[in-house]
Amino acid sequence: MRHLIDMRPHASDRNPRVGDFLRVGLFIGDACLFFCAQLAAFWLRLKTRLFDAVLPESSYIEYGPKAYELYASHFILGTVLFLGIGVALGLYSRKAYLRPRLVLGDLVKACALWIIVYLFVTLFFAVDPPISRTFVALAGLLGLSTLALWRVGFNRWVDRAGLVRHVQERVIVAGWSKDTEDLWHRSRNGDLREFVLIGILRSEDLGFSPSPPKELPIMGDLADISGIISGRQCDALLLCGASLGAQKLSNVMQTCHREMVRFLVIPDFFQVLVSGLHIESLRGVPVMSLGRLPLDRFFARLSKRLVDITGGLFGLLIFAPVITAFALLVKMESPGPAFYRQVRVGRGGRPFRIIKIRSMRMDAESENGAQWAEEDDTRRLKIGSLMREWNVDELPQFWNVLKGDMSLVGPRPERPEFTKDFKHSVEYYNVRHTVKPGMTGWAAVNGWRGNTDLNERIRFDLDYIERWSLIFDCYIMLLTFLRNKNAY
């Protein structure tokens, strides 16, 4: 069916071949640059003596004036192997120029995987001349840095040349919902470049809540879909919800297939963890199921735990003077202990005691009990405002990370006094407890913490659970030092 869809009519100012040219350009550019990265790594390791001070003399290999000719077959093998890994990871798919941030993360995976596979292949087949492990590591690092710069420059050129419009799908929306409004805003600010919304269709079975933007024209009624999509040169129809009924839904799908327009639907019966949804066949019967999420995998959890242990040790060592200094300031301002422990809810709903530097008076909850901190909260100490703004009061939680109660990154842990009500009043609230809570999180760095919209906070937490990767964790940790909205 896909080859038929590519034959559909396009707007007069769009060239459907641009996407193929961009992919070929990326492929050729990656091949040339990775080959050059191997040449540079070879020169650094085998033609200079920069590493003699840290590597044993026996590991230094000198092949004389014909060294490059002897290694040429290795360079070719390494380049072909990298391109194969790149194809498998989708480095040459549409996302390569539509979602450049995601591709940079895939580049890291590709280069790391290349180092492992290349060493295995050359050792297993006992290639001659033997491969220097330092050369392979240098080639992977140089390849990563070179290709990252090349991809950034390439994507900027694509944007400046206005080539994205040739590969974007022109989408008509049937109905309007909060999800489509989110897609609309993301497409306007550049976060979602795969689609461009061009209009809306009405239907008595599909609601308009909230009201659609005035910039998008109402093209007509869904009942007249055949004439509308055949004359508007659109690429896809996006249906907001599947509440049309079986017959109407079937008619819409058949019309889209007949007009060679891709049919998309936002299911109103699944609003959580949609990245885990997949279709499987049971003896020819299609069944939709919730598949495994990233952190359901053993090696994903293992790698995250290793990062947590490393980060926890590093954080305690680096910030020990800061923790000590602020603890003394708290003692000077307010009587009582400088640190306090508070029960929070962790993974699987299990309670644990979190450690914080005290930022409020000792009697902060004596009158009204447990409550969220608010802006200009009168219960705070003078030094407490500064600590909360810069998350200094959270630094002792590196110990919780080392113990395994928490992770460096994850949904922020809540108190059991709050969660016992939230799990009934907020949809999918307890899904956030399927992973370890974090010192920082995707919701927190986007300002959804404290006394803010809980539904939005949960939406960001679920987004993190679906999208988790080590690169994403590093990105969130970086943002923690740059964003402190609603940190009070």
d(CA 41, CA 137): 8
Phi and psi torsions of 378, nearest 5°:
-70, -15
DSSP class of residue 130?
Answer: P
Retrieve residue 246's tokens. 């079986």
How open is the CA angle 21-161-169, to the nearest 5 degrees? Answer: 65
What residue segments make up the domains of the chain, in order of their start? Answer: 2-160, 168-269, 298-364+371-480
pLDDT of residue 122: 76
pLDDT of residue 456: 84
DSSP class of residue 212?
Answer: P
- Cα 220 to Cα 223, 225, 231, 247: the distances in Å are 8, 8, 12, 20
Nearest to 467 by CA among 401, 409, 385: 409
Answer whether 143's CB lies under 8 Å from 38's CB. Answer: yes
The CATH number of domain 168-269 is 3.40.50.720: yes
Phi and psi torsions of 414, nearest 5°:
-110, 165
Encode the chain (488 residues) as per-residue pLDDT tens digits. Answer: 333 333 333 444 567 678 788 888 899 999 999 999 998 988 887 766 666 555 554 444 444 555 667 778 888 889 999 999 998 888 888 777 777 777 888 898 899 999 988 888 877 766 666 777 888 888 999 999 999 999 989 888 888 887 877 777 888 888 887 778 888 887 777 667 777 888 888 877 676 777 788 888 888 888 788 788 776 678 888 888 666 777 788 888 888 877 788 888 876 655 556 666 666 655 555 565 556 678 888 888 999 999 999 999 999 999 999 999 998 998 888 888 888 888 999 998 899 999 998 887 766 665 555 555 555 566 777 787 788 777 888 899 999 999 999 999 999 998 888 777 777 777 778 888 889 999 999 998 888 876 677 888 888 898 899 888 888 898 899 888 877 665 55
pLDDT of residue 241: 67
Retrieve residue 89's tokens. 């990871």
d(CA 266, CA 179): 8
Answer whether 146's CB lies under 8 Å from 33's CB. Answer: yes
- Cα 323 to Cα 361, 364, 393, 396, 397: the distances in Å are 18, 22, 8, 7, 11
Amino acid type, 426: V
Answer whether 195's CB lies under 8 Å from 187's CB. Answer: yes
How open is the CA angle 240-285-174, to the nearest 5 degrees? Answer: 10
d(CA 59, CA 69): 20
d(CA 192, CA 184): 9
d(CA 261, CA 254): 10
pLDDT of residue 376: 58
Answer whether 302's CB lies under 8 Å from 378's CB. Answer: no
pLDDT of residue 16: 66
Q: What is the pTM of this model?
A: 0.58
According to DSSP H, which parts of 47-167 are helical?
67-88, 95-98, 100-124, 133-160
pLDDT of residue 6: 35
Nearest to 407 by CA among 486, 476, 462: 476
